[in-house]
Structures are given as C-alpha cells and as structure tokens.
Amino acid sequence: MKRIYLVSILLITVFGLISTDLFAGNWQRAGQSGASQLLVNPWARSSGFGEANVACITGYESMHLNVAGLAFTKKLEVGFNNSQYLVGSGIQVNAAALAVRVGENSVLGAMVDVFNWGEIIKTSEDMPEGGFGTFKPNYTVIGLSYAREFSNSIFGGITVKVINEQIDNLSASGFAIDAGIQYITGFGKDKAGNRNRDNIHFGITMKNVGTTMKYSGDGMSFVGVSPTGTSMSVENRSQEFELPSLIKIGFSYHIRLAAKIDEDDETVYSNHNLAIALNFTSNSFTKDQFHFGLEYSFMEYLFIRAGYTFEKGLYSVSDCTTVFSGPSAGITLQAPLKKKEEGAKYGLNTTSVSTRPVVGVDYSYRFTNILGGVHTFGLRVTM
C-alpha cells in the first residue's frame, strides 16, 4: 500500500509540473520552438536502443532520457561521448557526464553537451558570398541532476538545465527542468545484493519544461541612414521562443535465457539476457513518436542493441519532417578491472550490477534520409 501511495504522489507531481501547452502541441507547430539541440541524443547506448529504454535506462545517460535511472548508480560513473552528426555536414556533438552516489539512496549527477557546428562564412546583403571572415556558433547545455531510490521498486529524479546559444555577436540563454520516475515489479535481491528477478519496468518523464529564450546583442542593431542623410543606429526587435517540451511513457520486459539456479543461495541468474522496450513520445512542437528496442547481453561483457523510431509520414517524401529514417543499432564492449568477488552474480539490467570497476566502450549508428547517418562513440568507467 505504501508503494501505491508513493507512485501516486510522484505521478501527481510530474503531471502537475507539466503545462497544458505540453498536450496542446502538434506537428503544425514545428518550427515555432527553439533550442532544438535539447532533442539531440548525444549518448551511444540509448541512441542505439532507439531511445526506447525510458523505463529501464540506468547510469549517467539517464540524465538525457529519464533521470530516474540515475538512482541505479552503484558508486561512481564517468563517461565521454562524441557524435559525428550527419556525416558530411561537419557537425560534432561532445558530451561528458558524471554520476556519484552520495548516500544510501541518493545520487548526484552532472552533464554537459557542446555542439560544434564548424566555421561558417560571414555574409551580408552587400557581400552575399562572404569574404570578410568566419564565425563559430556555440551551443551548450549544462545539467545538474538528483535521483533517489524511494523503495526497491520506485525510483525518481529531477534535472535542472541551463541552455546557452551564441552565434557571432548574438546570444540567448534559458532554463529548463526534467523530471522522471521508474517503477519496477517482480523486483528482488540475492544474498550478494544483486538484482536478479525477471523484471517489468514502467517509466514516465517530462523534459525541457522551462523559460522562453530570446536573442540579444550587438547583432540586433545596424547603422541606417535617414532621408535627410543622417546616420543613426537602429535596433531590431527579437521574438521570444519556447523550448521543445515533451513527455515520454515507456515499458520494458527483461527475460533470462537459459536461466540457472545458484546452489549456494538458491537464486536464479543467467549469462544470457534479453530486454524488450517500448516507448511513446508526445512532442509539443513536432510529431509524436513510437520507439521500439531490443537488447541482448552476455554477462557484463557484451551488449548488442537495436531500435526503431516511427512517426507519422516517415515513409512519405512529402510528409516526412525528420532527418532520421527510423532504424538504429549499437554495441557495448566492457571488461572488469579486477576479478569477481566470491558469490557475485550478474544481473539482467542494461548495465552491470557487479560491484567491480568496469571500463566500457560504446558505439551506435542512426540511419538518416540524407548524408551519412550519425556515428556515436563513447568511453565509460563504472565503479
């Protein structure tokens, strides 16, 4: 009964923070929001999964998809990812994150995303071909997160983000909040403290709910000449724009393949596991999306995943409004830094449940309709 009350309180809190505009939007509003970099996933594991793992994501990548998963951090997790976005365009996305447990049930996290658009030639009405220099746009997202394990089944978290955009002599800043919860049934631990039951996971998160943004700076002004020939400084007005708020609802089911029973503590474990995940995304300013994902894992050494993201008009040249064509795939290879302790087993979640330090390499590829797709490479250390 206590669990039901906690779930109810968390759901009421999340939905209470969501404005009515979050459900009023549709694809006709596409282009009316800004800060679209908030929708770009810079992480390899969740992007290879097709972002379907809202209900079961764990570790620092949770700060992008569903911050509740940050509560699964054992001790410390550090990672860096680089995305070659739309290969051929010269765009890169660099992301770094840190998650650290600060108490028995609490975890703090920090992340930063930096978008590198390369050098762009300056142009003007008088010189449309350029010839007087270049500039480098600078888009940065910085987030601080807090997640907590409320019980063996309920996990929640919140992220506060600062968004900054700078284009030559113009800049804009904003503030946003993400919040999410995860609920797990059929949940338990063996004598070694490992989570080892077949699990059904539910997750819900809201993202990018915050202030409007507005560009300002010297770039909004220019020198004009009056009819009398007098020079004067004229400043253009800048229109405010909203953030691309959204809500995600996810489900996942985890299956042990060739399960075995440990004779010492009579727990069930498996070296081969399969995770099936589904997710629905309701966007305020773009089309709604459906995400499907599969992940196979062998112990804590190998993870192979695939995903598919569908939205209305995806297969129509005239109605398609996304650069992505749907499929995605990824792989993780990781190795422990020391030998397994006596009695330790491997769980079935999407990250290692061992207490050993682990170093891992992540990769994902997202197919696109134009250019050469999106390659994401990651390096991760888990304690």
- Tell me which residue has tokens 């995770």: 275
The C-alpha atoms of residue 51 and residue 149 are separated, in whole angstroms, by 23
Q: Distance between CA atoms of 41 and 23, rounded to whole angstroms?
A: 22
Q: Which of 115, 112, 122 is nearest to 142 (CA)?
A: 112
pLDDT digits (tens, 9 = 90+) for 238-284: 888 899 999 999 999 998 887 776 655 556 667 899 999 999 999 98
Tally Cβ neighbours within 10 Å of residue 41. Answer: 25
Q: Is residue 97 within 8 Å of 60, Cβ to Cβ?
A: yes
Question: Cα 120 to the chain's mean position, in Å?
Answer: 28
Which residue type sits at 371? L
DSSP class of 186: S
**CA dist 76 → 54, 216, 235 (Å):** 21, 40, 50
Q: Residue 341 carries which DSSP code?
A: P
Confirm if 332 and 361 have CB atoms less than 8 A apart: yes
Alpha carbons 100 and 72: distance in angstroms, whole number? 10
Q: Give the DSSP H/E element, type plus range, for residue 48.
A: helix 44-48
- Count Cα atoms within 13 angstroms, Cβ side, for 306: 2
Whole-structure pTM value:
0.83
Which residues is 261 bridged to in the sheet?
Answer: 268
The pLDDT score that the predictor gives to residue 340 is: 58
Query: Does the structure show a pLDDT above 50 at 306?
Result: yes
Measured in degrees and rounded to the nearest 5, phi and psi for residue 23 equal -100, -10
Cβ-contact 38, 20 below 8 angstroms:
no
Q: Report d(CA 274, CA 271) in Å as an integer.
A: 10
What is the pLDDT confidence band of residue 144, given thresholds at 50, 70 and 90? very high
CB distance 95 to 113 below 8 Å = yes
Nearest to 213, CA basis, from 148, 163, 252: 163
E strand map for 150-301: 154-167, 170-185, 200-210, 221-225, 231-235, 246-257, 260-261, 268-269, 272-283, 289-298
pLDDT digits (tens, 9 = 90+) for 130-142: 777 888 889 999 9
Give residue 224's pLDDT: 66
Mean of pLDDT over the chain: 83
- Domain 2-382, CATH class in plain words: mainly beta
Q: Averaged over 307-312, what is the pLDDT?
A: 94
234 strand-pairing partners: 222
pLDDT band at 302; cut points 50, 70, 90:
very high
pLDDT at 343: 41
Distance of alpha carbon 295 from alpha carbon 119, whole angstroms: 38
